[in-house]
Amino acid sequence: MQFNPNTSHYASAIGAWLDSNFRDQFTLTVAFMEKLKQRGAFKRGSAYLVQPVFGTGNNTVAGVSNFNTAMSIPADSGLSAVYTWSWYQGLTTVNAQEAAAINTEYEMVDLLEERLRSTVAQFGQVISNDLFTNTDANLGKIAGIPYAVDRPTTSANSFGGISRSNTTNPWWRAVVVDAGNQPLTLQRLAAAYNLATENGGISPDIIVMPTAHFSAFEALLLATQQYRQDDEIARAGFVGYLFKGATVLFDPRVPTNTIFILNSRDIMLVSQTERPSAEPVEFPDRLVRGYKHGWAVALVAKRLNSNARINNITT
């Protein structure tokens, strides 16, 4: 007897597995994604595509004043950042030879779950690759952090539909520090961190840097005996250290000689649904059956000047 992985009870098992395991498996191989999830910056829902922003930081926006001052109606101009979904797709398949070797329904479920783990991990890897590109979002890829966390000087390009012109919307531009090809020091890292804190009012909580810079950072911590590991990220199987109020991580996808200092309260990853869809598909000419998955995500921000980057910093 040959088992068909596309039958309804297998489809139900696929859906149940994704419901229970997708989020954990999605971040399993990417420390930065795992930390976003831990910080609550991995959110779901179309409502997050529209982010109200308050450019001036004026207290009259919220109608707040001293008690002995005449109360004013909030002066919210209604300005919002508006984002669009980027779509990703994947396949979980079983070929005819594999199906013929299956002896029980339990074996088919086990095989499908193993294939699902691989598919979900690839979703994490592909989206992480795009997350560190220096381009805006389009239908097929999300905006990259290097694009969003920037302070454009040659052109006033927009993010979330809002111009990042230095004169029009300076609050919609990240803190950018040019290290001038000088090496990483704790003082340089602290200076950029403090600038982002000053702008945002709340300290950044994630710092991500290239692998070589992370090794240099570890050496600096050892030299100053400030070696404090992030236990939360360690329990997920990754290495990260605490610096001020942030977890310091490395990712090989981070652009060369660049460090990002991020505030997960103001910049986040959003998905349209809790997990990808799972639609049965069959390829008769290839003798392959399985499931096609689709998932929509976006990188969104509600404030940019609470985030920072250091450019041209060496090890």
**pLDDT tens-place string over residues 119-160:** 999 999 999 999 999 999 999 999 999 999 998 866 668 899
Instruction: Give a yes or no: residue 282 inside a domain.
Output: yes
Residues 6+ apart with CB under 8 A from 191: 177
Instruction: Give a yes or no: residue 196 inside a domain.
Output: yes
Q: What mean pLDDT value characterizes the chain?
A: 88
What pLDDT, on a 0 to 100 scale, did the predictor assign at position 126? 96
Q: For residue 60, is pLDDT > 50?
A: no
Residues 6+ apart with CB under 8 A from 242: 228, 229, 230, 248
Instruction: Give a yes or no: residue 70 inside a domain.
Output: no
CA gap 107, 85 in Å, rounded: 37
**Which tens digits make up the pLDDT trace of 237-252?**
999 999 999 999 999 9
Burial class (CB in 10 A: 0-12, 13-18, 19+), 9: exposed
Domain of residue 105 covers 8-56+80-314
Beta bridge partners of 158: 163
Residues 6+ apart with CB under 8 A from 257: 179, 181, 210, 213, 311, 312, 313, 314
Number of domains making up the chain? 1
Q: At residue 150, what are phi and psi to the nearest 5 degrees?
A: -155, 175
Residues 6+ apart with CB under 8 A from 5: 94, 99, 108, 112, 289, 290, 291
Q: How confident is the model at residue 97 (pLDDT cuts 50, 70, 90)?
A: confident
Name residue, tokens 């980057």: 309
CATH of residue 263: 3.90.1690
Q: How confident is the model at residue 58 (pLDDT cuts 50, 70, 90)?
A: very low
Residues 6+ apart with CB under 8 A from 239: 31, 229, 233, 249
What pLDDT, on a 0 to 100 scale, did the predictor assign at position 101? 83
Greatest Cα pair distance, the chain, in angstroms, is 83
Instruction: Give a yes or no: residue 90 inside a domain.
Output: yes
The alpha-helical segments, DSSP class H, found in 54-104 are 96-101
* Cβ–Cβ < 8 Å for 193, 203: yes
Instruction: Give a yes or no: residue 218 inside a domain.
Output: yes
What pLDDT, on a 0 to 100 scale, did the predictor assign at position 210? 98
* Cβ–Cβ < 8 Å for 38, 237: no
Name residue, tokens 């329904």: 105
Amino acid at 277: S
What pLDDT, on a 0 to 100 scale, did the predictor assign at position 1? 52
Instruction: Give a yes or no: residue 71 inside a domain.
Output: no
Instruction: Give a yes or no: residue 128 inside a domain.
Output: yes
Instruction: Give a yes or no: residue 49 inside a domain.
Output: yes
